[in-house]
């Protein structure tokens, strides 16, 4: 097994990083200035484009490139099948009436194929997937253009499938992670929840591609531990949420302050896909014994959007995601956070 620093160095050399830390793609919470700050600090900037129209994807990349020539990843969800039992949708809709009355149904979301084309055209360093795998033809086109494919996985079976499909690196996402869990089969996200300390060596022992560790890493100790466990790099999300460049809503940022690991909640209340969040009254209500199971993705997300456009009360204005290391997130500028994490890790790995 190679030494942690050598492994990280090889990854950095291959993708043009000075520091083996990637900003997690966080749909709705990764403005270009955050990616610029991370890339200028030597890491890799990121953007989750699942909610973005193709024009916005191109514009975001222009804004990033105006601020940095550093490496950047664009990330998208692989869509789930849209069919769902009507009863599940009706039950969720009924429960949502506790939170006021709905507004108009929203317009259809962006077209996945068009988003994928926009990502290719933007030619980032890497394009990453979550919730599944790209089609073989898209993988071929990525490789033709020299764009790396990073695939998020939460189980070894999913990780092996990603490697077999041509992923250049696999993101091992532990259950500590803030935001959505990338389990390929949406129904098994709860039953397959594994912490990063168990997941990472399992991936490293069975995969030949580099592994990027993600979930709960928020300071240099986490970075050093992940590299010691076999990761080639780490990907951090929650640690950057309170940075001024991220600019999340004030109530969300305040909720992260001192939030205990055990207080974060795994919930399907926002989208129908499982994700780790702040225990807001809205999120907590859906975890009460009398609550129905939220509708499957994308139906729950569509319903929540409709309620947000209506006369709602007690419904969070935005999804308040939080990983189990939320209390370690600081208000430092993002570049300082990345530099500090790597400096601290360096001391531990020396």
Ligand X SMILES: Cc1cc2nc3c(=O)[nH]c(=O)nc-3n(C[C@H](O)[C@H](O)[C@H](O)COP(=O)(O)O)c2cc1C
Does 110 sit near ligand X (CB under 6 A)?
no
* From candidates 32, 48, 124, 298, binder to ligand X by CB under 6 A: 48
Minimum gap (Å) between residue 126 Cβ and ligand X? 12
Instruction: Write out the binding residues for ligand X, residues 297-336 only, by CB under 6 A.
Output: 321, 323, 325
233 binds ligand X (CB under 6 A): no
Q: Which is nearer to ligand X, 121 or 318 (CB)?
A: 318
Compute the distance between CA of residue 6 and CA of residue 216 in angstroms, rounded to an integer.
23
**Shortest distance in whole angstroms from residue 1 CB to ligand X:** 24
Among 19, 29, 211, 274, binds ligand X (CB under 6 A): 29
Q: Residue 24 Cβ, how far from ligand X at the closest point, in Å?
A: 3
CB of 93 to ligand X, least distance (A): 25
Choose, by CB under 6 A, the member of 8, 12, 22, 27 that binds ligand X.
27
Q: Which is nearer to ligand X, 102 or 242 (CB)?
A: 242
Q: Is 238 in the site for ligand X (CB under 6 A)?
A: yes
Q: Does 270 interact with ligand X (rule: CB under 6 A)?
A: no
The least distance separating ligand X from the CB of residue 137, rounded to whole angstroms, comes to 22
Q: Does 264 bind ligand X (CB under 6 A)?
A: no
Scanning 21-29, 33-41, 257-265, 285-293 for contacts with ligand X by CB under 6 A, the matching segment is 21-29
179 near ligand X (CB under 6 A): yes
Binding site for ligand X (CB under 6 A): 24-27, 29, 48, 50, 75, 130, 152, 173, 176-180, 214-217, 235-239, 321, 323, 325
């Amino acid at each position: 097994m190679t030494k942690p620093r050598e492994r990280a160095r090889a990854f950095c050399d291959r993708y043009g990083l000075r520091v083996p830390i990637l900003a997690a793609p966080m749909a709705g919470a990764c403005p270009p200035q955050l990616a610029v700050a991370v890339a200028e600090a030597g890491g890799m900037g990121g953007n989750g484009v699942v909610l973005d129209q193709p024009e916005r994807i191109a514009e975001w990349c222009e804004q990033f490139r105006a601020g940095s020539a550093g490496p950047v990843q664009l990330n998208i969800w692989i869509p789930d099948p849209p069919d769902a039992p009507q009863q599940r949708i009706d039950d969720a809709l009924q429960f949502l009436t506790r939170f006021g009355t709905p507004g108009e149904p929203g317009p259809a979301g962006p077209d996945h194929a068009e988003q994928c084309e926009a990502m290719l055209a933007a030619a980032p360093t890497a394009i990453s997937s979550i919730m599944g795998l790209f089609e073989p033809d898209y993988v071929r086109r990525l490789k033709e253009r020299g764009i790396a494919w990073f695939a998020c996985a939460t189980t070894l079976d999913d990780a092996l499938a990603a490697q077999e499909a041509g992923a250049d690196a696999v993101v091992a996402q532990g259950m500590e992670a803030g935001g959505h869990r990338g389990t390929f089969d949406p129904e098994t996200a709860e039953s397959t929840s594994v912490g990063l300390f168990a997941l990472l060596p399992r991936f490293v022992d069975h995969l030949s591609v580099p592994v990027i560790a993600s979930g709960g890493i928020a300071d240099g100790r986490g970075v050093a531990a992940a590299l010691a466990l076999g990761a080639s790099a780490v990907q951090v999300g929650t640690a950057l949420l309170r940075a001024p460049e991220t600019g999340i809503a004030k109530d969300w940022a305040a909720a992260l302050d001192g939030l205990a690991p055990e207080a974060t909640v795994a919930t399907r209340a926002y989208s129908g896909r499982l994700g780790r969040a702040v225990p807001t009254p809205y999120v907590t209500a859906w975890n009460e014994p009398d609550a129905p199971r939220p509708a499957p993705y994308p139906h729950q997300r569509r319903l929540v959007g409709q309620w947000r456009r209506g006369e709602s009360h007690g419904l969070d204005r935005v999804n308040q995601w939080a990983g189990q290391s939320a209390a370690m997130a600081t208000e430092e500028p993002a570049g300082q956070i990345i530099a500090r994490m790597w400096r601290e890790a360096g001391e531990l790995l020396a």
